[in-house]
Amino acid sequence: MPFCYYGAIIKPAGFLKLPKFMSNLEQIKNYFKEVKVEMSKVKWPTKNQTVNYTLVVIGVSAVVAVFLGALDYFFNLGINFFLFK
């Protein structure tokens, strides 16, 4: 329900909703049409880029795993040294 504030009509936040006359099926169709338009704007990576990015992720994951494993090992040695002399 709009109200007047110094002569200006201010609409509540719900005014962005789809019109009531659109059925649920029309709303679903509209949604998928918009998805199709947006997905056509996406610049997809090439196969070569995808392979390279995958290898980078695997490599970084392996390095982090080795680093955390080494930290765990040395902290375990330190705790065992001080607690179980």
* pLDDT for the residue 11: 57
Question: pTM for this one?
Answer: 0.55
pLDDT digits (tens, 9 = 90+) for 60-74: 999 999 999 999 999
The residue that leads in pLDDT, 2 or 69, is: 69
* pLDDT for the residue 23: 80
Q: Where are the domains of the chain?
A: 3-83
Return the structure tokens found at 42. Answer: 């996406």
The β-bridge partners of 8 are 5
The β-bridge partners of 9 are 4
Region label for 5, one of left (φ > 0), alpha (ψ between -120 and 50) or beta (otherwise)? beta
* pLDDT for the residue 18: 57
Residue 58 has pLDDT above 80, yes or no: yes
The β-bridge partners of 5 are 8
pLDDT (average), residues 8-15: 55
